[in-house]
Amino acid sequence: MKAIRVISLLAVLLTAAPSHAEETPGCVVPAYLLATENALPKVGDAIRTRKRLEVLVVGSGSSALPGADGASMSYPARTEAALREALSGVNVSVKTDLRPKKTAAEAAQNFGQIIDKLPADQKPDLVIWQTGTVDAIRAIDPDDFRAALDTGVEALQKAGTDVLLMNLQYNPRMETMLSVGPYNDTIRVVAQQYEVPVFDRFSIMRHWNDVGDFDLFGSVHGYGMAKRVHDCIGRSLAALIVEASRINPAELRIQR
């Protein structure tokens, strides 16, 4: 019964009633949440040499939005738009491979084979793996979650792509119903081990809630707020990708 309640909560996680700040959301993220010591060398090389960047988002239901404009308003599409704006002269494509209700172990099955089978011009330079929510809902043993992340990241790196891990989304109510800490901690540990960046979606969304940019605790739901949150996530994610690519966008504009 608890799992059903949590799933229902997560289904409307990004549609909570907005505070006054929704009219002028800042989307401001503290610098330390978008800084990373781990680079994305293949992304940087693709931008510099090919002027083309292929990104694949492997995610769950929280990577999508419903409705006729859901695909264009979800954070993968907003990430693509933000990257295109930042990376002058670079052809950016962000595709999705959504695996709703799949644990990390289930989602990671055949990662390497799937990428190996893609035509050369469609192979991603970067895979963004959004994970952890379903494992937390199902109370998967953190050690098993760790093993699944190891398997998935190793397979992706062996297939020749950069990897960026994204952790759980944040909601004040979710914290009272799920033990999310062990999963976020495990993602950070694995990221350190494999030297890949982490997009700390959980802390970023908690910051927006705490400063009043978005009221994620509200009991009345609105699709407009969901779109604004996804837009902010997309812009923040693009900023982290550019940071980790070690590319100076200003230099790209000068080169044109």
Q: What is the pLDDT of residue 223?
A: 72
Residue 93's φ and ψ, nearest 5 degrees, are -130, 125
Tens-of-pLDDT digits for all 256 residues of the chain? 434 333 333 333 333 333 333 334 568 999 999 999 999 999 999 999 999 999 999 988 777 777 667 777 899 999 999 999 999 999 999 999 988 899 999 999 989 888 888 888 889 999 999 999 999 999 999 999 999 999 999 999 999 999 999 999 998 877 778 899 999 999 999 999 999 999 999 999 999 989 988 887 765 556 788 888 999 999 999 999 999 999 988 877 766 6
Contacts with 56 (C-beta within 8 Å, 6 or more apart), sequence order: 94, 95, 96, 97, 124, 126, 127, 128, 161
Nearest CA to 217 among 17, 6, 11? 17
CB 104, CB 148: distance < 8 Å? yes
Contacts with 74 (C-beta within 8 Å, 6 or more apart), sequence order: 63, 64, 65, 96, 230, 234
Number of domains, the chain: 1
Which pair of structure tokens corresponds to residue 12?
Answer: 């409307």
DSSP 66-102: -STTHHHHSHHHHHHHHHHHHSTT-EEEEEEEE-TT-
Q: How far apart are CA 15 and CA 22, in angstroms?
A: 12
- The CATH number of the domain holding residue 55 is 3.40.50.1110
For residue 214, the enclosing domain spans 2-255
Contacts with 12 (C-beta within 8 Å, 6 or more apart), sequence order: 221
Residue 53's φ and ψ, nearest 5 degrees, are -135, 120
Tokens 């043993």 locate to 141
CB 60, CB 101: distance < 8 Å? yes
Surface-to-core class of residue 119, CB atoms within 10 Å of its CB (0-12 exposed, 13-18 middle, 19+ buried): exposed
